[in-house]
Structure 1
Amino acid sequence: MATLRFWYKILDKAPPKPIPRTLPLSPLDAKDGFIHLSVASQIPITAGKFFSASSSLWVLQIQREKLVGRFDFPPPYGEVCPHLHDSEEGLGSNNVVDVIEMRRAATEEWKDVPAMAKLEN
């Protein structure tokens, strides 16, 4: 498998503008002790599973090679989401390259949102 250039973080609230050097951890990341991430193909699945009540999401596009910490991303890559452990820097202006706002209609599934198909690895 080719090296993935981007990983993603789904947020249910807009991040601050501009992105600070270090974003605060989500409650789930703080509880679990690592940062939950996704590859492009996992975003519609993760959004449908954990953000089904949301009509808007913000997806942080993260340059993978600029992440500092220990990665847990066992194969098969389509089934298991990447995790970032032991990162003092976390996510922020050094590694977030884009913030993509996604919206869906109440009758629409996240997997059917056209912006999902435009995410790249």
Structure 2
Amino acid sequence: MRRIYKICPASAWREAERQGVYRGSTDDARDGFIHFSTASQVAETARKHFHGQTGLFLIEVDADALDQALRWEPSRNDELFPHLYGELDLGAVVNVLDMRARSDGYHDIPELMP
């Protein structure tokens, strides 16, 4: 099982749980897909887009369960990033992890599966 990760405000994730589906953030809606990161990309994504934010979850997803809706496309530094064209079925979620913010604004990233 390949894993991909989504950083998400806890409040948005709790709403997704109530609705039974995650439709993405405002940025995702603007871009037309849900942005994900690989295990090796999470720390830089957190630094670049979530610095200083608290109350975040790291959503761990089974990439293989997303089938054709998941595309690997070049993004930051020409690295391939996973992009989901469609809603995230919560059945593909493996784990929901707390992302603890430190006093310097960065986050403690848990050990992740690739």
TM-score by length of 2: 0.80
Gaps in structure 2 of 5+ consecutive residues: none
Aligned equivalent of 2:106, options 92, 106, 109: 109
RMSD: 2.6
Higher strand content, 1 or 2: 2
CA distance in 2, matches of 1:103, 1:30: 26
Deviation at 1:57, TM superposition (A): 1.8
1:58-82, Cα deviation, whole Å (9 max, x unpaired): 011000111141413359xx93321
Counterpart in the other structure of 1:91: 88
Aligned residue in 1 for 2:57: 58
Aligned partners of 2:58, 2:110: CA distance in 1, in Å?
A: 13
Task: Name the counterpart of 1:46.
Answer: 45
Q: In structure 1, what is the Cα distance between the partners aligned to 2:15 and 2:25?
A: 17
Paired AA for residue 80 in structure 1: L
Q: Is the 8 A contact 2:52 2:106 kept in 1?
A: no
- More helix by proportion, 1 or 2? 2
Distance apart, 1:108 and its partner CA: 5.6
Offset, 1:11? 0.6
Specify every segment of 5 or more residues in structure 1 that has no aligned partner in the other structure, as ranges. none
Tell me the TM-score normalised to structure 1 length: 0.76
Q: Percent same amino acid at aligned positions? A: 31
